[in-house]
Structures are given as structure tokens and as C-alpha cells.
Amino acid sequence: MKTFRWIMMTLLLGVLGLQSVMAQVIGSNIVVTVTPDHQDWNYRVGEKAHFVVNVRKSGTLLDNVAVSYEAGPVMYPNAKKSLTLKDGTMKWTGEMNSPGFYRLKVVAHVAGKDYEGLCTAAFSPEKLVPYAQEPKDFDAFWQKTLDEARKVDLNPTKVLLPERCTKDKNVFEISFDNNRSGTKVYGILSVPVKAGKYPALLRVPGAGVRPYTGDVYTAPDRCIVLEIGVHGIPVTMEQKVYDNLLNGALNGYWECNLDDRDRNPYKRIVTGAVRAVDYIASLDEWDGKTIGVTGASQGGFLSLAVAALDKRITFLAAVHDAMCDYEAELHGVAGGWPHYFYHEGKTQKMNALEQARVEGARYFDGVNFARRIKVPGWYSFGYNDEVVPPTSSYGLYNIVKAPKQLSVYQMTGHYWYQEQWDEWQQFIEAELSK
């Protein structure tokens, strides 16, 4: 019996030990760092930014390492070269003669693997102005769109998800009609267990197709949270279903029908996000005063759109907001994801279809929504973001006239650090408590 226990204990410890080792695999032994000489990464136009590159293995400089690099304005590098760093280090100087962001990206090639580091310096970013043009009928288009959608009853459904409930929150999968009968928006609703009237938060999603678990962590006993999907499908199915849709019927949905504002999927998506505000306002538990909206990437764009289109929104928090200032790329300047016009270039004469795409995109440009925002907002992004360039995010921030806060985390890419997340949540909870 003792032997059996010993064997079982040995096996258990072995498994646990393996799991522990696997769980701790993180990072790389070879690290490429690119460091500017200004702590805040900010420079004035005409000023020189000096970068130091280090390639380290086990924390020490790596001798005779092959690297390739590119440098220049974000998304438009004008210098590319490969060389060998004898002592694992190099220096670089960059400058810009107009407001924008300059990026040095270095890739070390070691034993058949690539290791990347980058740094993005800002040059007078507070002077950036978006290129986005505004359709004359922008307001009329969206007012008509929402008026027509609101002729359709919400027809809400609500199903308790007991396995997701907490001591503070009841959690439900909900649905309601979007812009026509039978076209649904699905989401996860969390409501405080204790009866009462509460402020509300709408969480809007980044791009992609995925399930959602709901938010039970934001002021858990003090607010309603609705997290929505935007594809008109339930949000509690197996991951495989969403993977199949992303690779199949919904593949590249963000690029569909850009030339036709009425067939563009974002007409339905934006409308559904605003209808989510209608749904929240219909809840008996809502306090009738406070509704915030927040999201990152595509969700950042949707936060801008909802805040602009619905006067019941009282605050927003937008993180690395995508879909802003598409037209910048027609001028050789980094524009927002999905980079519709990156390949057109600033010198190419557009044909009729290409011109229609540009004009259609204007109805779904975050810049044109941001111009209409009147409520307090918290905006955050990273200079090193390679999906949503800081050029478009900073330019958008500059044109917002409402009360605003900017929190830059220079090193972050298309993700966020714990400190950034904590600050984001603190802003939301402070606004919900007003």
C-alpha cells in the first residue's frame, strides 16, 4: 500500500512538474532592443532622434550577429539594409520634416530563427491632422439608418447561464433584433444580483469572430455590463464554429462592399451597437442616467461611433482605435486598419471603382464620428503598434473637442500592458460611479 502511494505520488508530482515547466515557457533568450535617446519617445519636427540597437543572448551582447533593418515613417520605410553587428550593437539617427511617427525595426537572424525589436519615435504628434474627408450627408445617412432600424421591435430574448453567474452577478445570453426583423445581435449580459438601479457599460468587440464570456469583473456589484458580438450569431458556441466562419463565410468581412455604403457590413455592425444602447435602456435595472461604451481596435472604432450617434452615452474609453483616417494612405501617410488604400499610393490615378471605395469608406471612418463626440473620453494606444499605427490614433485624438484624456504606453503594440489595463478600468469605474 505504501509502495502504491509512493508510485502515485511520484507520478502526480511528475505530471504537476511537467505542467509547471510548460506553464513557465515565456519570452526568448535572444532579445533585440531598440532604444531612443528621449525617455518619452517624443521629438520636435526637424530634431534628430538617436537610437541604440542591442542584440543580447542570455543578457549579454551577441557577437557577429546578422541583422536586417528598415527605418523611416511608419508603414513607409525609406531605408532598408542587412549587415553583421560585430559586437551586437548599432546606432541609428532618424528625423522627420513634418509631424508623424518614425520607426526603426531590426530583425536579428540567429540559428535559422528571427528575433525582432522596434522603436517608434513621435515627431510633434500634437500637430497631426487627419486626412479624412466628411460626406455632406453623413449625419443624414446615419439618422435615416437608425430611424429605419428603430421601426423594428427589439424582440429581446434572455437565457440565464448559471455556470457563469457569480455571487455578485447574474449572467445571461441575450439577443435582440438589429436593423430588420430576424437580424439579431447576441451578447452576454451581467446584472448585479442585488435588486436596484445601476449604471451600465457596453463592451464592443475587436475584429474577428469569436465567442464571448461576459464581464463580471467591472464594479461587479455596482453596474450592468453588456458585451456584444457583431455578426448576428450566438456567442456561446464552440470555438470551432467561429474558426470555420472566420475562414469561410465571414473571411475578410471588414473589406466587403466598401464602395456601397448600404451593403457595407459596418452599416449593420454600427447599427447593432447603437441598438445595444436601446436594449440597455429597456432594462428595468438601468438607472436611467449612465451608459458608457468601451472597446479596443475595431471596438475602439465602435466606441467612437456609438458615442457620436447616441446621446444617452455618457463616456467612452477607446484603446488603439482602428478604422480611423483611411485616406491618409492616399497621401503616403500611415492610415488606420484595415489599410484600405495602402496599395493605391499617393500618385496613382484612381478609377471609378477605387474612387467609389474612397467615398464609401468615409461613412465608416472613426474620424468623422470622433468629430461629433461630446462626452468625456479616455484614449490610449502604443507607439509600437504595427496594426493600428499611432499616426491615425494620435490624429484622431487631436480633433476630439469633448473633454478627453490621453494615456500613451509607448512600447505597446496591438496589445496592452497590465498597467494600461488597470488605468483603463479605473477610468471606467470612476465614470460609472459619478
Q: Which of 378, 387, 380, 366 is nearest to 416 (CA)?
A: 380
Task: Quickly count: other Cβ atoms within 10 Å of residue 116's Cβ.
Answer: 11
Q: How far apart are alpha carbons 225 and 285 in whole angstroms?
A: 11
Q: Which residue of the set 297, 303, 380, 392 is catalytic?
A: 297
Residue 244 in grid coordinates? 470555420
Closest CA to 321 of 268, 270, 390, 410: 390
**Is 414 a residue of the active site?**
yes
* Catalytic residue (one of 380, 385, 392, 393): 385
Strand partners, 91: 52
- Cα distance between residue 294 and residue 428, in whole Å: 8
Question: Residues of 233-268 as b/e, b for ≥16 C-beta within 10 angstroms?
Answer: bbbeeeeeebeebbeeebeebbeeebbebeebbbbb
C-beta of residue 122 within 8 angstroms of C-beta of residue 383: yes
Residue with cell 429581446: 156
- Rounded Cα–Cα distance for residues 131 and 133 (Å): 6
CA distance 298 to 254: 10
The catalytic position among 231, 320, 339, 414 is 414
Instruction: Return all residues near 6 (Cβ < 8 A) that are at least 6 apart.
Output: none
Residue with cell 453596474: 223
Q: How far is residue 212's CA from residue 226's CA, in Å, rounded to a whole number?
A: 11
385 part of the active site: yes
Q: Is 215 exposed, middle or buried (0-12, 13-18, 19+ CB in 10 A)?
A: buried
Question: 69 Cβ partners below 8 Å, 6+ apart?
Answer: 53, 79, 80, 81, 82, 92, 104, 105, 106, 107
Cα distance between residue 335 and residue 331, in whole Å: 9
Provide CB contacts within 8 A for 130, sequence distance 6+.
324, 325, 328, 367, 392, 395, 396, 398, 399
Burial call 378-410: b when 16+ CB within 10 Å, e when fewer? bbbbbbbbbebbbbbbbbbbbbbeeebebebbb
Which residues does the annotation mark as catalytic?
297, 385, 414
